[in-house]
Structure 1
Amino acid sequence: MATVILVRHGRTTANTSGVLAGRTAGVRLDDVGVTQAERTAERLSVVPLVAVVTSPLERCRQTARAIARAQQGTPATATERGITECDYGSWQGRSLRDLAKDPLWKTVQTQPSAAAFPDGEAMATMQARSVAAVRRLDALYEAEHGPGAVWVAVSHGDIIKSVLADALGMHLDLFQRIQVDPASVSIVRYTATRPYVLATNTHAGDLSWLKPAQKRRSRRKSDDAAVGGGAGPAS
């Protein structure tokens, strides 16, 4: 059972100015965003990561570099287009205040599965390609490093929300109920039985319980859900 830690990039000037950055080139972390990325990197430093995978956009690459630098070892690093930002088409670069007046805004809010951005991407397509990328990479890192492997995917708010919705078994039309803040940490463990969502939108707290357990003679832990809730992490 590999585990993926989903990290949203830190805050950017586009976030604070209320502009939908989308795939606009050159959108970087602001000073607060840099601090957020470093804080998240420190929090993750206690977990030996096998890989840090990032969206190709600069704000994610900045965040991913901070995470990789904080590791005691040298995790593999990779760029994955499958987890890049949604293609918002002609909405890109416009203010959220103006976009809220567009009739499509209501569809995005209440029925995102039916939303397709002009000259851009449908939200259902966004979810399908991001979920496929995360599941493919998760299976790859488990095959390479074993069931205790932990890796990070640095991506964007709507991408992470759509991956979490899939893992929770939620219809895409409900994904706006999920909050994913800048530099937040969400955690999913995929198994042959089902995905387990271990955390969403966290900003603090010890993550050392994600360290792979020492190998010992024992039966392989079941992928079944623990009836009654189980005992939780060992520490």
Structure 2
Amino acid sequence: MEVLSPMETSALLLSLNASAWAVLWSLPLAVGFGWLLGTRRFPGHAALNALVHLPLVLPPVVLGYLLLVLLGRNGVIGRPLNDLFGIRIAFSGIAVVIACAVVGFPLMVRAIRQSAEAIDPRYARAARSLGASEPRIFCTVTLPLMAPGILTGTTLAFARAVGEFGATITLAGNIPGRTQTLPLALFTVTQTPGQEAEAMRLCLLSLVLAGAALLISEALSRRMGPQGVSA
């Protein structure tokens, strides 16, 4: 394979960086939702579960448009941020991270929820009988047992974020060196005659990243035993 061009390198690094930040920012919330949906039953449980997983079934462009309505310059959230603090989210680097986080979040929650559902409740009951508080039980018993799902979900969410296109181009645009991720760069070169070699390199990069993430997810699931689950 030829050495990557500056545009290809920039798109690759931006995709990896945005996906990593998206996973890191959404991980605490995903752990909370995964634990809540997997271990508790309450009125509205089904509705909350459906809402969390809605980005899995929505067309990405629709998801991006909804984010734009919320976070755009005249959006419900974006306008106050712009007027009061001068913060503009749409068509910026942070918009790429937000789009990646939203599309990957359901995969992370799903894997963590499945891992939480597989935990034997007798462990928590035994800890309570020994006088452990609920926060201590969560940190020392529940969280370690959810670790396989957390690792699997994180890997899958990262892979999904790297391949995100529709929501990103709608919320963040396709600005080279700023918001142009790997899929957006591939879209750009396919619109230009004579750039078949660049298109093939970007396609191969996407395949390698996606395949590596799936292999890592499967390896983690197997290595960490029967509690490990995949989405």
Q: Which has the higher strand share?
A: 1
Structure in which a larger fraction of residues adopt helix: 2
Structure possessing the higher radius of gyration over alpha carbons: 2
